[in-house]
Structure 1
Amino acid sequence: MKNTFYFFIFLLVITGCERKKAIYAEVSTEIVSPKTYVVYKTTQPITIDGKADESDWKNSAFTDEFIDIEGVKIPSQTTKVKMLWDANFLYVYAKLDEKHIWGDITKRDAVIFYNNDFEVFISPSDDTHNYGEIEINALGTVWDLILNKPYNVGGKPKNRWNLNDLKSAVFIKGSLNDPSDIDEYWSVELAIPLSAYAELKNRPKIKPKDGEQWRINFSRVQWDHDLKDGTYSRKKKGGKFLPEYNWTWSNQGAINMHLPENWGYIHFTDNVPTNPIEFKHQTDALTEQVTYALYRKIAFKDLKHLKKEKVGTQFEFEPIEVQGITVNASFLKTHTGFTLQTQNTQKNTVYTINETGLIRRKQTN
């Protein structure tokens, strides 16, 4: 058999070669539309002081304000981000409105999100594997780590991965750990070394160039707080910490930042901030979101029974119609798990994704 996948056919079960009705899958309610942002080249050195006073920063647009991680609730305080880049760094400036600025974690690579924090997630290859995470609190304490793949498919964090060339600073408009007043905001400025993230890429392992697109998202973890003897702490009820709030730039669709397929897109351009361009997707983003939604149904949700099929079993899905496109999809049970293949009937790109969520793209004639 030259190709294990065939589009536009009915369900075929290898055992007995019995034809059955194609599988129906509803994914329209699970489609996420990631945010986009064009990252412009700097025209002058950027001083990492948490203030973003340079003209390049002033000429750069903020992202949309952060939303609740599930895209439903409006956060009680505003968060927004700007980005720039040069030959060596991706610059991130975040402004976090905050009435009570506090923090007590001072050890690098501790679990920073036990304080209110700001987090950056970067995937340079856009395949859901090998991505980095940076967390920082109002004290400027950093936690940096990488994952080989998301936690929900067995990903293992490497806390020993340190961004030795990372530059970071926090600026506080108000007072730190002082409950006697109401604060305005705290801001974070980062210079993230691009060479370290280039090492996480598939190929070529080089720093981004003009026109390259990566995946990125930002998270703000916010806790309700208690005060005891003038000291802030996470609030408890019944002896247990109240759950944190998670506010993000691009909607994750679930309370889980480790869904790289739902992160936003950034486009690196050699243009400067005063010469803006329009963001244009370089892949079929909607078909990919359909692919990821169907993958999650098979991996974790109502279609996970397919993983129990006999190795070599193939299924076709009924054509999936979402937002004006039609996607054909097929499933193959493999020795290691499964492979899902999709194609937009109007496009010539085929997507394959395996049980670990690793996606591949291939152009067809």
Structure 2
Amino acid sequence: MKTRFVHGPSKINRKQMALKYVVNLGLLILFVACTGQETSDYTVEAIRTPSPPVIDGIEDDPIWQQITPVVLKENRTGNETRNVAIRTQVKSCYDDQTLYFFFLCNDPDIWTSFTQRDEHLWENEAVELFIDVDDEPETYVEIEVSPANVLFDSYIVDTLNIDVPETALFNLEGIRTAVEVSGTLNERNDKDDHWTVEIAIPLADLGNENIPQVTTATEMRINFYRLDENQGKERMYYAWSPTVDRFHKPASFGRLIFK
């Protein structure tokens, strides 16, 4: 059963050398502590599409057939997801005005309890997408979509102290999303197959005080996530560029390359 929801020399004696080493080591430790960790070297290519995909949650548009997906890993360990039944894949493309993303989430138990925009989707099953257009680690857009095509969108301004009600007041005016469920949504006792999410985000909606006008020439950092909890199983967290713990770790975001 399928259900669709559309909606950045002088000589030194040994003591001096040792002192210099200790000072440099201390500065290095301080730098790492301030930045959190080294910047991720993950990159994903967004392919230019000659015609926009139809936002219906279905992967039948010609552009999606041309793209090799990235596969999400277990966030805590960085290990590949060997179980195909719960694997998550993501594809990206773009045109001059819009970014497009397609998530394929294999899932034997598809469910969500949320029905309203900006509810706490991360407490159930959802996919997440973080986009940073100004390479400032404190500011980025967070997007979440549930299997019922409920949307959560927010603008983060302090990654360590997120005021959820305040950030959720932010809305991407032109965003479009669609979900198709291959299975029975919220029927916990049967076996489902997968759900797909298609997202269209106008570049104009991503501008902020640092980068007022976002274009395909803008350098972007990005990460993809999925929250999955199947009946009787441990809750799982997946990421394209793993963060080890909480998802809100901008240093772990990868790079989006416009090809």
State the partner residue of 2:129: 120
**SS where residue 22 of structure 1 aligns?**
helix
CA distance 1:179–1:223, change in 2 (3 Å): closer
State the partner residue of 2:241: 250
Query: CA contact under 8 A between 1:119 and 1:220: conserved in structure 2?
Result: yes
CA distance 1:260–1:172, change in 2 (3 Å): same
**SS where residue 261 of structure 1 aligns?**
helix
Q: Which amino acid aligns with 1:261?
A: A
Q: Which amino acid aligns with 1:50?
A: G
CA distance in 2, matches of 1:117, 1:155: 19
Q: Structure 2 matches for 1:205-244, cutoff 5 A?
A: 205-210=212-217, 212-225=218-231, 244=235
CA distance in 2, matches of 1:168, 1:32: 30
CA distance in 2, matches of 1:33, 1:214: 13
State the partner residue of 2:60: 53
CA distance in 2, matches of 1:251, 1:263: 9
CA distance in 2, matches of 1:128, 1:141: 27
Q: Which amino acid aligns with 1:42?
A: T
CA distance in 2, matches of 1:187, 1:79: 10
State the partner residue of 1:69: 75
Q: How many angstroms does 1:31 deviate by?
A: 4.3
Q: Which amino acid aligns with 2:56?
A: D
Q: Which amino acid aligns with 2:190?
A: D
Cα deviation per residue 1:238-289 (whole Å; 9 max; x = unaligned)? Answer: xxxx7x321001121x2111111111110123xxxxxxxxxxxxxxxxxxxx
Q: Which amino acid aligns with 1:159?
A: A
Query: CA contact under 8 A between 1:198 and 1:208: conserved in structure 2?
Result: no
Q: How many angstroms does 1:33 deviate by?
A: 3.8
Q: Structure 2 matches for 1:1-365, cutoff 5 A?
A: 21-24=22-25, 25=28, 31=38, 33-63=40-70, 65-75=71-81, 76=83, 77-151=86-160, 154-157=161-164, 158-199=167-208, 202-203=210-211, 205-210=212-217, 212-225=218-231, 244-252=235-243, 254-269=244-259
Q: How many angstroms does 1:38 deviate by?
A: 1.4
Q: Gaps (5+ residues) in structure 1?
A: 1-8, 10-18, 227-234, 236-241, 270-365
CA distance in 2, matches of 1:182, 1:224: 10
Identical-residue share of aligned pairs (%):
27
CA distance in 2, matches of 1:130, 1:66: 23
Cα deviation per residue 1:177-222 (whole Å; 9 max; x = unaligned)? Answer: 224532111000000121111235x24x212234x42000011011
The number of residues matched between the two structures is: 229
Q: Which amino acid aligns with 1:78?
A: R
Q: Which amino acid aligns with 1:218?
A: F
CA distance in 1, matches of 2:187, 2:46: 36
CA distance in 2, matches of 1:180, 1:110: 25
Query: CA contact under 8 A between 2:129 and 2:144: conserved in structure 1?
Result: yes
Query: CA contact under 8 A between 1:208 and 1:268: conserved in structure 2?
Result: no
Q: Which amino acid aligns with 2:226?
A: R
CA distance in 2, matches of 1:113, 1:267: 27
Q: How many angstroms does 1:60 deviate by?
A: 1.4
CA distance 1:44–1:72, change in 2 (3 Å): closer
**SS where residue 225 of structure 1 aligns?**
coil
Cα deviation per residue 1:146-176 (whole Å; 9 max; x = unaligned)? Answer: 111312xx34441111112110000111221
What is the aligned-residue RMSD (CA, Å)? 2.4
CA distance in 2, matches of 1:262, 1:179: 34
TM (norm. structure 1) is 0.58
Query: CA contact under 8 A between 2:182 and 2:192: conserved in structure 1?
Result: yes
Structure with more relative contact order (C-alpha pairs < 8 Å, separation 6 or more) = 2
CA distance in 1, matches of 2:238, 2:39: 16
